[in-house]
Structures are given as structure tokens and as C-alpha cells.
Chains A and B, each alone.
Chain A
Amino acid sequence: MRIAIRHQLSVTPPAGTANAVLQLLLTPQGGPTQSIESWSVEMAGIGNAGRFIDAYGNIAHLVNQSRPEGELVVTVKGVIETTDRHGVLGRIGGEPVPALYRRVTPLTKAPVALYGKYRNAKETRLDILHGLMARVGEALGVDAPGQSQMQADGGQSQGQGGVAKPLPPASDYAHSFVGGARALDIPARYVTGYLMGAEGGVAAFHAWAEAFDDGLGWIGFDPRLQICPTDRHVRLAAGLDGLSTQPLRLVPAEDGVRELEVSVAAA
């Protein structure tokens, strides 16, 4: 599928900042599930940015702005051609060894209730991972049938029969899944990207997970949607958790990142 993306974020350095330094993880790479037709990152100072590959194999930018005034706006846009491979990415060159993704971080500590029943499971790793994805869905909640209107922050509004509590953001699902897999000694990583909503659905900046199988390599799992990533998922960056994959990081920072706009549509 050909998908056009436009994403705009902003951060505001504290008044009087002498030098604002930003790290961007907003550049997708081509791979088995996607090829990049065009991509651009625009912001003041990007022309002078340092470009490097981070520890997890992502393309990163190091941007600085001396004496910034007001908010700094980043606009990314591009066109990506995606392929549905039922979530299977396989092995990708230049990535760190999968074992790295067994490291537990503060954000990826999962309760035993989530993964305990698979500790001595006889099933294949693939079956265990699908089971784990279902467990995460049970624990955090899933969309009622016919309701899949995600909001940009991963939450959801349910219209039927009064106002229900919104579901947690997609990042919670991804962290739970990753934490559960790691507790079972399965390498798992956190993935950021874009999700094109189903018909009528709202586009979003999204998060899901990937786990490693010795036979198939890396396989994607989207526990928020309870599916393996499809050609509606555009993969942006991967890492240990949501912290190491933040799309935009700023020092010195006062407030968080503001999402100004995200649109993901068939091109």
C-alpha cells in the first residue's frame, strides 16, 4: 500500500536558553515490510544537523539551535510503500544482537500474572507470543467489536451505551508485551511508527512490539490492536523501550512534546 504521512510536533525550550539540543528519531528505514519513496524532516537548524545511527540501528538527527525563541516545530512528511508480511521482518543486517533485547528496563517490568503461565509452556515460541499478546489485551482492555477508532494518543472513545473509560495508550500495551516476553527470556523490542486507520479510523503515531524467533527472526505484534502489523503500519524506530525510542528529545526541556498534527493516508 502507498501511504502518505505528515507529522508535526513541537517543543518549547525554557526562556533564555542559550543552546537547545534536540535528538530526532523520525526517519524510517526501508526493509522487508516497507520501502521509502520520499521522506523529509524539516525544522530550523536541520541543515546543519549531525546525522548518526543510534545503538539500535535507527537513523537519528542531532539538531541544535542557539538562542531559540519560542517553540521549535518539526515537520516530517513522506511517502512509504508498505507490504503485508503478517508481521514477519526476519533478520536485518546492521542491528544489534537480539540478546540485547532481553535487558529489562524500568519501563518494561511486567507482572508475573502476565507471563507466568508461559514459563514452562510446551508450545512453540510463536504460539507463546500470540498467547502473550492476547493476555496483554485481556489485562489492559481491547476495543469493543466494531469500535476501533483510535485517537492519536492511542486512547479511544467509545460511543455505544454511554461513556466508557478510554483505553490506555498504545505504549502501555507495547511495554507490557515487551516486558512479558523478556521475562520469558525472549528478546523483544519496542517499536514506534505510524498507523493508518481502517476505513473512517483516525490516523495515529503508534507503538507496538517485535519479538525474536530463532527460526523466523523478528516478528511484529501490535497488542493494542491484537494483530500482527499489517501494511497499515509504517515502522519508524525500534529500541529497548519508549524512552530510548522517543521521536523527539530536547535539552534543556521544561514541558513535553506537543503533537500538532498527524495524518496518515493512502496516497
Chain B
Amino acid sequence: MAETAPFDEMYNADGSVREPYRALNAWLEEQPDKALTLMQSDAEAIFRKLGITFAVYGSEEGTEKVIPFDVIPRIIAAQEWRKLSKGIEQRVKALNAFLYDIYHRQEILKAGRIPEKLILQNAAFAPEMMGLEPAKGVYAHIIGVDIVRVGPDEYYVLEDNLRTPSGVSYMLEDREAMMQLAPDLFHRCKVAPVETYPENLRRTLESVAPAGAGQSPNIAVLTPGIYNSAYFEHSFLADQMGAQLCEGPDLFVDGGKVYMRTTTGPERVDVIYRRIDDDYLDPLTFRPDSMLGVPGLFNAYRAGNVTLVNAPGTGIADDKAVYTYVPEIVEFYLGEKALLSNVPTYNCTDEEQRNWVLANIADLVVKEVHGSGGYGMMVGPTSTKAMHAEFRRKIEARPDNYIVQPTLALSTCPTYVNAGVAPRHVDLRPYVLVGDRVRITPGGLTRVALKKGSLVVNSSQGGGTKDTWVLED
């Protein structure tokens, strides 16, 4: 797969422009020299001024960077999007049904469709969640599905993010910046709005408030604080939704209910959109040394006095090893074939597959089962022989700790780089909200690998973002 030329989203093989990109292409051709250079520096100024930054792990404390933003939007045609969003909706419904099942009767395990050990011995499985009835039966309310495109009609789901997917603020700010930078381009294309996301998020959160919360439930966004890499997003979303941005010490549990400390005394909290990992959520139930969480919060949740969004324990559904079973999961709960394909994944615990993987590692992508953000990952074709050897050793030592996939030829989009406009590899993370119903924001966050030939789009590894336009009919 690595051999073939990647699918170019703007140009056909014969050099003609694909339909959805025609208006953009014409606009690009009209731009005078240096116009894009100017736009690019304007964009940077906009982001820095707004303070849209992320902290870089492992670098000097307090270092903040602006995620590079590319001024050329990525465009998805209406019919392409309809197909994608149907597949996404099917997937998130199935994953929520799966979560409900494994935290109740575990029928899918009894039926032998997924190995029991894979779930029950998994670090991401939260036994504390057993038997809990979440509002509306929803566990994962906010989901980011990472999708790559390899052909005109060929999409793969790279991974599901059901813990606390981040990046939605970039989707919104990218649109905001794009409207400031190229208003004329918006006149030429009918772009589906993304600005409805915060309102939809609020509605989703309200719809899963515990019974007795009243007409206008109190919503809090729980952040680990200003040193968290996604703090900007936490405050942005709280602001946009009209919710309180709280840190652990702002909340406390009294009589099995959750309150926030306000200037006028305690105020009841009904729904918590928490951006703190499960382990740190409640030192009484999870890690006792956590300073970020709220003691007793989980039990207040169990007592039905507050809703946690997403529920703890959703990580079992986006575990890299469970990922390979998602088509199975869709069929088991919905009785339908999965509309979106998984990337073929090799199982290294199987000796035959492992031997094949070890022999062909230079062409493959190796991912650590519990890694994220592009860490603990190796892309064969762009790695050195020494790294191939290192990952061979790692796989042999702990075959269950890695999944291996073919190197996908991620589609490319025109991107502004030093040399001018050139194709760069992209992926797509649409954002999905699940509450009283499923709400999918048209488009999502397009991440782009700015280095020529690179397939790693993570911002921590030199990736940037693009505004993503879903065209309306």
C-alpha cells in the first residue's frame, strides 16, 4: 500500500480539479503573490493573541506553543459527508451499547464474540462501573473518531476516542480564523456551520442530567488546571456553553451530592463535563494520591446525584486491542454490517502473524496498545533500520502490547508550506455528541502532517490543523 501514490483530495490523476475543490482552486489562482504568506502570518498573530496554545509535554515547564494552522481549507462534498456521518453514527451507537453490556450482563463475552480476558483483564476496564445505570444509557457522550481517507470512496477508522477527546476548540477557532482571513472564499462556497457545537454540547449535557435536576441543570467543566495541555480548550468550551470552569478543589461532595464553592456559598452541580482522566477523578475510589479530583465524586455519581461526562471506564471501548473487534461489535448490537471499515490490524500474539510482521516491519506501522498522541509509535517506511530493530525487539518481548497495521497512504490536501502550495497528508477527526440523540458537527478537525512525506499528524509531533469545510447541496 505504501508503494501507490496517495489519493490527492484536490487533483485527479490527470491534473484536473475535483468537483468540491473547484471554487477553492479558482480562488487560489486569483491570489496575488505573497497573499498566502501574509494570510499565514496574520493567522499566527490571531491565534497567539487569542492565547490558543497548548503545552508541550517533556519540554521546559510553562512552554506554550501555537498549533500551526494552515490557511488552505480541506473540503468534503455533501454526499461524501452524508456517507461518513451515517457510518459514524452507527459506530458510536454500537460502542455505547457495547459499554452498557460489558458493565452489565456481558452478553457479548458470554456469546464468545470477544475474548473475555481481553475485556476483564484490561487496565481500561473499570470494575467500579459495574451495574451503574447512566442517564439515557449513554457512557460516551463526546467522541472523536479518527478517520483517514485513502481513495475517492475509501475511508478507514484509525481509532475511536471515547475518553476525553480534545481538539474541538481548534475546529471552532480554525473556522473563526478562516472567516476573518478569507471572507470572500466563504461567499463562493456553501459551507455547513460548525459554530453550533457549543450549543449542541450544552443540549447534550442537559439531556443527560440526573432526574430531579430541573429545567436548567447546572453544568460544570472540570479541568486539571491551567498547566494542562488542553486548558485553553476547557476554558473556551465552558465560556461558549455558559458553564462554570472548575478545578477539583472548587467542587466538594456533601450528603452524597456535588456542590461548587461560590462567592455566595455552595451551589449544586448536576452535570460534570470532566476533562480529568478516570484515575485522577476521585481519590476515594481511584488513585488515592490524586490532587486533581474530587473525593466522593464517583460515589455521588453512583448514587445518581450527578452525571459524569464521559462516564469512567469508556476507555475499554477505544482500547487499541478492542478496536479490532469493532466491526464485530456493530454486528452484535445493531445486527448491521459496519459502514466504516477498520484498518486491517495484525495480532502479534498469533505466532504466524507475528513472524510475518517481524519480517515486514519496514513497511508497517507499530502502535503501543496504551500509547497516544503519536508517542510509542513507529512508522516503518520513515524510520531508520535501528528503529526497526528496536521495535522488533519490543514486539518479541511483549507481543500483546503492540498492534501493527499496514502503512496507509493517507490522502493529501494542498497545504501552504515554505515552498508554496504543496500536497501534505491529512486525517480527520469529526466530533460526535451522544445524549438524547446523536449530533455530529459537519466536518471536524483536519490534522495535517506539515513535514513532506510525513504520516504523523499529531500536534505534539509537528502536525498542524486546517479548517474543514463540508459543502452543503
In the complex they form, do A and B come into direct contact, defined as C-beta atoms under 8 angstroms apart?
Answer: yes
B120 and A100 contact, CB distance less than 8 A: yes
B295 and A19 contact, CB distance less than 8 A: yes
* Residue of A62, A66, A97, A100 with most chain B CB atoms under a 10 A cut-off: A62
Chain B residues whose C-beta falls within 8 Å of the C-beta of A21 in the assembled complex: 253, 284, 295-296
Chain A residues whose C-beta falls within 8 Å of the C-beta of B300 in the assembled complex: 50, 62
A64 and B255 contact, CB distance less than 8 A: yes
B256 and A62 contact, CB distance less than 8 A: yes
A249 and B106 contact, CB distance less than 8 A: no
* Complex partner residue of A62 from B116, B121, B130, B296, CB under 8 angstroms: B296
* Complex partner residue of B130 from A23, A66, A100, CB under 8 angstroms: A100
Asked if B422 CB lies within 8 Å of chain A CBs, one says no
* Complex partner residue of A52 from B105, B256, B295, CB under 8 angstroms: B256
A64 and B253 contact, CB distance less than 8 A: yes
Chain A interface, DSSP helix/strand/loop, else mixed: mixed
* Complex partner residue of B129 from A49, A55, A62, A251, CB under 8 angstroms: A55
Provide the bound-state CA to CA distance between A253 and B289, in Å: 10
Q: Closest residue of chain B to A47, judged by CB?
A: B255
Asked if A54 CB lies within 8 Å of chain B CBs, one says yes
A51 and B256 contact, CB distance less than 8 A: yes
B131 and A50 contact, CB distance less than 8 A: no
B288 and A50 contact, CB distance less than 8 A: no
A99 and B131 contact, CB distance less than 8 A: no
Interface flags for B179-203 (1: CB within 8 Å of A; 0: not) read 0000000000000000000000000
Q: Closest residue of chain B to A253, judged by CB?
A: B288
Asked if A39 CB lies within 8 Å of chain B CBs, one says no
Provide the bound-state CA to CA distance between A57 and B127, in Å: 12
A103 and B283 contact, CB distance less than 8 A: no
Asked if B299 CB lies within 8 Å of chain A CBs, one says yes
* Residue of A54, A66, A244 with most chain B CB atoms under a 10 A cut-off: A54
Chain B interface, DSSP helix/strand/loop, else mixed: loop
A52 and B253 contact, CB distance less than 8 A: no
Provide the bound-state CA to CA distance between A96 and B305, in Å: 22
A64 and B116 contact, CB distance less than 8 A: no
Asked if B257 CB lies within 8 Å of chain A CBs, one says yes
* Complex partner residue of B295 from A54, A102, A104, A251, CB under 8 angstroms: A251
Chain B residues whose C-beta falls within 8 Å of the C-beta of A56 in the assembled complex: 130
Provide the bound-state CA to CA distance between A251 and B295, in Å: 6
Q: How large is the interface on B (under 10, 10 to 19, 20 to 34, 35 or more residues)?
A: 20 to 34
B256 and A55 contact, CB distance less than 8 A: no
Shortest beta-carbon distance, A73 to chain B, in Å?
19
Provide the bound-state CA to CA distance between A267 and B131, in Å: 36
Interface flags for B285-311 (1: CB within 8 Å of A; 0: not) read 100100000011001101111000000
Asked if A262 CB lies within 8 Å of chain B CBs, one says no
Asked if A191 CB lies within 8 Å of chain B CBs, one says no
Chain A residues whose C-beta falls within 8 Å of the C-beta of B284 in the assembled complex: 21, 23, 249, 251
B255 and A102 contact, CB distance less than 8 A: no
Asked if A203 CB lies within 8 Å of chain B CBs, one says no
**With A50-B257, A102-B120 known to touch, is A60 a contact of B109 (CB < 8 Å)?**
no
Shortest beta-carbon distance, B280 to chain A, in Å?
13
Asked if A126 CB lies within 8 Å of chain B CBs, one says no
Provide the bound-state CA to CA distance between A215 and B302, in Å: 32
Give chain B interface residues in 102-131, CB to chain A under 8 Å.
104-106, 109-110, 116, 120-121, 125, 127-131
**With A19-B252, A99-B120 known to touch, is A55 a contact of B296 (CB < 8 Å)?**
no
Give chain A interface residues in 92-150, CB to chain B under 8 Å.
94, 96-97, 99-100, 102-104
* Residue of A64, A251, A252 with most chain B CB atoms under a 10 A cut-off: A251
Asked if B132 CB lies within 8 Å of chain A CBs, one says yes
Shortest beta-carbon distance, B293 to chain A, in Å?
9
B255 and A48 contact, CB distance less than 8 A: yes
A64 and B296 contact, CB distance less than 8 A: yes
Shortest beta-carbon distance, B65 to chain A, in Å?
35
**With A52-B299, A97-B106 known to touch, is A62 a contact of B253 (CB < 8 Å)?**
yes
Asked if A240 CB lies within 8 Å of chain B CBs, one says yes
Shortest beta-carbon distance, B442 to chain A, in Å?
39
Chain A residues whose C-beta falls within 8 Å of the C-beta of B304 in the assembled complex: 52
B125 and A103 contact, CB distance less than 8 A: yes
Asked if B254 CB lies within 8 Å of chain A CBs, one says yes
Q: Closest residue of chain A to B126, judged by CB?
A: A55
A251 and B288 contact, CB distance less than 8 A: yes
* Residue of A49, A52, A253 with most chain B CB atoms under a 10 A cut-off: A52
Provide the bound-state CA to CA distance between A60 and B298, in Å: 12
Q: Closest residue of chain A to B106, judged by CB?
A: A97
Give chain A interface residues in 239-267, CB to chain B under 8 Å.
240, 244, 249, 251-253
Q: Closest residue of chain B to A243, judged by CB?
A: B288
A53 and B109 contact, CB distance less than 8 A: no
Interface flags for B247-262 (1: CB within 8 Å of A; 0: not) read 0000011111100000
Chain A residues whose C-beta falls within 8 Å of the C-beta of B283 in the assembled complex: 251-252
**With A50-B256, A251-B283 known to touch, is A100 a contact of B299 (CB < 8 Å)?**
no
Chain B residues whose C-beta falls within 8 Å of the C-beta of A62 in the assembled complex: 253, 256, 296, 299-300, 303
Q: Closest residue of chain B to A98, judged by CB?
A: B106
Provide the bound-state CA to CA distance between A53 and B129, in Å: 11
Shortest beta-carbon distance, A188 to chain B, in Å?
13
Chain B residues whose C-beta falls within 8 Å of the C-beta of A51 in the assembled complex: 256, 303
**With A99-B120, A251-B283 known to touch, is A48 a contact of B254 (CB < 8 Å)?**
yes
Shortest beta-carbon distance, A25 to chain B, in Å?
11
A54 and B302 contact, CB distance less than 8 A: yes
Provide the bound-state CA to CA distance between A60 and B299, in Å: 9
Provide the bound-state CA to CA distance between A253 and B290, in Å: 12
A100 and B127 contact, CB distance less than 8 A: yes
A103 and B121 contact, CB distance less than 8 A: yes
Chain B residues whose C-beta falls within 8 Å of the C-beta of A102 in the assembled complex: 116, 120
Q: Closest residue of chain B to A56, judged by CB?
A: B130
Give chain B interface residues in 73-119, CB to chain A under 8 Å.
104-106, 109-110, 116
9 inter-chain pairs at a CB distance below 8 angstroms, sorted by A residue, are A23-B284, A23-B296, A50-B299, A50-B300, A50-B303, A52-B299, A57-B131, A103-B121, A251-B283
Inter-chain pairs besides A19-B253, A23-B299, A50-B305, 15 sampled, C-beta below 8 Å: A19-B254, A21-B295, A48-B255, A52-B303, A54-B299, A55-B127, A56-B130, A60-B299, A62-B253, A62-B256, A64-B296, A99-B110, A100-B120, A103-B121, A251-B296
B residues whose Cβ falls under 8 Å from a Cβ of A: 104-106, 109-110, 116, 120-121, 125, 127-132, 252-257, 283-285, 288, 295-296, 299-300, 302-305
A residues whose Cβ falls under 8 Å from a Cβ of B: 19, 21, 23, 48-57, 60, 62, 64, 66, 94, 96-97, 99-100, 102-104, 240, 244, 249, 251-253
Report the 4 A-B pairs with minimum CB-CB distance, sorted nearest first: A50-B256, A52-B303, A21-B295, A251-B295
